[in-house]
Amino acid sequence: MTLGYSFSDYVVQIIAGLGTGSVLFLVSAGLTLVFGALRVINFAHGSLTMIGAYVTVSLAGWLGFGNAIFWIVLLLAALVVAAGGLFMEVAFFRPIYRRPLLTQLLVTFAFVLIIAGVIRKVYGARTRTTDVPPFLQGGIDVLDGAIPKYQFFFMAMAVVVAVALWAMLYRTGLGRTIRAAVSDPVLLGLSGVNVRVLFTTVFVIAAFFAGLAGALTTLQGSVGPGLAVDTIIRAFVVVVIGGLGSLSGAFIAAFLVGIAEALGILWVPSASLAIVFAVLVLVLAVRPQGIMGHKA
C-alpha cells in the first residue's frame, strides 16, 4: 500500500469516484426498477448501455459534438435504446416472467451475446472515441490537481435523473402504479390496471436511462466491446448492495462503489476490483436484502 498521497490527491480521487459513481447510478437505476416491478434480473441491461454508447459514437461522427448538437445526440441515443428495449420486452421477455430463474438468466444472457455480435460486426473490435463537446472540455482546478469538467457534468446528470425518477415515482400516476406493482401485482390487476402494459413501460424507461448512461460514457474515453459485461457486473454489484428494487439504495450504493474503486486504485491498484467484490459478498452474506432493501 503506497500512502504517499497528499490531501489534494485524495480529494481529486474522491471527486473522480463520485463521477464514476454517477454514471454507475444512471445504469443501475433502470436495472433496479426492472427488478422491483418485474422481478427479473436483466443481464442484458449492460448491453443496452453499450448500444447507447456506440450509437452516440456514430451520431457524433455524423452530426458532430457541438454544444447544442450534444444534447440532441444524447436524447437520440437514449431513444434508440428505448425502442430496442421495447422490442426486446414485448417479443422475448413477456413469455419468461413466469418461467424459472435459469430460463430467465439464459434468455437475458442470450441477448448479451446477440448484441455483442451485432456491435462487433457493425463497429469492429477496436475501441472508439468521441470528442468532448466544447462546453465540457478542459478541467477545473481543485487544490493541487485538476478534474475534468465532464465529471461534474456526470454528477449533475445523476442528481437531475435521480430527482426526475423520484418525481415520476412519487408524484405521477404512472409512478403510483409502478410502486403498487412492486407490492402486489395481482391486486393491481384487480384494480383495473393493465399490468402487462405497465411492465413494458417500466422496461422501456429503464432502457432509456441505460442508453443515456451509455451515451455519457463516451465522454470518459474509449468505448470498446467489453463495455457490456464490464457494465453489467458493476451495475449488478451496485443494485445488490443497494437493495434489489430500491432506487435510493442504488443511489447510495453507486457512490459508495465509485469511491471505493477510486480509493482502491490509489491504495492497492491490483486489488481495487477485489475490494468491490469482497464488499458485495460481505453485504450479501450479512444483510442479503442490501442497504435499503426489504426482507423478502
Partner 1 sequence: MTTVAHDASRGGTSLRDSFRSLGHRLRISPAAYETAQKPLMFVSFAMIVFVGLIPLFAGPGDTLLAQQALYLGLLALSLNLLVNTTGLISFGHAMFWALGGYMVASSYKFSIPIFGNPLFALAMTPIMGLVAGFVIGLIVFRGRELYFSLLTLGVAQLVWAVAHGWQSLTGGTNGANGVFAAEWINAFLHPDRLYWFIFGCVLVCTAMLYVITNSPFGDALRGIRDNSRRAEFAGLWVKRYELTAFMIAAMFGAIAGGLSVIGDTQINSGLVDWTLSTRALIVVLLGGVRFFLGPFAGAFFYLYVFNEVIQRTAMWDTVLGVVVLVVALFLQGGLAGLIQWLCALGVTIRDRLTGRQVEEPVAPMSAAAGQAVHLPDIAAAAAGDGDGKVQWADRALVLDVKNLTKSFGGLVAVNDVSFHVREGAIHAIIGPNGAGKTTLFNLITGLIKPDTGEVVLEGEDVTGAAPWRLVKRGMGRSFQQTNLFWELSSLGNVTLAESAVKDATRKLWGSHPEEITNRAKALLDRVGLGSFRSITARELSHGDQRSLEMATALAVESHFLLLDEPTAGISPAETRDAVELIRKIAHEENLTVLFVEHDMEVVFGIADYITVLHYGAVLAEGTPAEIRANPDVQKAYLGEITEEEVAG
Partner 2 sequence: MSTVDGGQPAVLEVQGLNAYYGKSQVIFGLDLQVCSGEAVAVLGRNGAGKTTALMAIAGVVSNHSSALRLAGEDISHLPSFKRVRRGLSLVPSGSRAFPNLSVNENLELVRGGTNGGAQWTTVDAYRTFPKLAELRGNSAGTLSGGERQMLAVARAMLAGPKLLMLDEPSEGLAPMVVKGIAERLHSMRGEGIGILLTEQNHRLELEVADRVYFIEKGQVVWQGNAAEASDPAVIGRYLAV
Look at the block and give the residue holding cell 423520484. Answer: 166
For the CB of residue 278, give the shortest distance to partner 1 in the complex, in Å. Answer: 6
Q: Which amino acid is at 69?
A: I
Q: Contact with partner 2 (CB under 8 A): which of 91, 102, 125, 173?
A: 173
Q: Is residue 195 part of the contact set for partner 2 (CB under 8 A)?
A: yes
**How many angstroms separate the CA atoms of 34 and 98, rounded?**
15
**Site map 223..242 versus partner 2, x via CB under 8 A:** --------------------
Q: Is the dihedral of CA 198, 30, 161, 216 positive or negative?
A: negative
Judged by CB under 8 A, does residue 99 bind partner 2? no
Task: Give the x/- contact pattern for partner 1 in 83-102, rule: CB under 8 A.
Answer: ---------x--xx----xx
285 touching partner 1, by CB under 8 A = yes
**Cβ proximity of 63 and 76 under 8 Å:** no
In angstroms, the CA 185 to CA 93 distance is: 17
The 10 Å Cβ neighbour count of residue 114 is: 13
Q: By CB under 8 A, tell whether 168 contacts partner 1.
A: no
Q: Which residues, in sequence order, are CB contacts of 99 under 8 Å at separation 6+?
A: none
Q: What does the angle CA 26 – CA 159 – CA 7 come to, to the nearest 5 degrees?
A: 95
From candidates 50, 82, 107, 132, binder to partner 1 by CB under 8 A: 107
Residues in contact with 206: Cβ distance below 8 Å, sequence separation at least 6, in sequence order: 29, 30, 31, 33, 34, 42, 45, 85
167 lies in the site for partner 2, by CB under 8 A: no
Instruction: Give the residue carrying C-alpha cell 454507475.
Output: 24
- Restricted to residues 170-229, the positions that interact with partner 1 (CB under 8 A) are 229
39 binds partner 2 (CB under 8 A): no
Q: Does 118 engage in binding with partner 1 (CB under 8 A)?
A: yes
- Smallest distance, partner 2 to C-beta of residue 184, A: 6
Q: Binding to partner 2 by residue 192, rule CB under 8 A? A: yes
Residue 281's binding partner among partner 1, partner 2, none (Cβ under 5 to 8 angstroms by kind) is partner 1
| Amino acid code (one letter) for 96 | I
User: What is the binding site for partner 1 (CB under 8 A)?
Assistant: 41, 92, 95-96, 101-103, 105-107, 109-118, 120-121, 229, 233, 236-237, 240, 270-274, 276-278, 280-281, 284-285, 288, 296
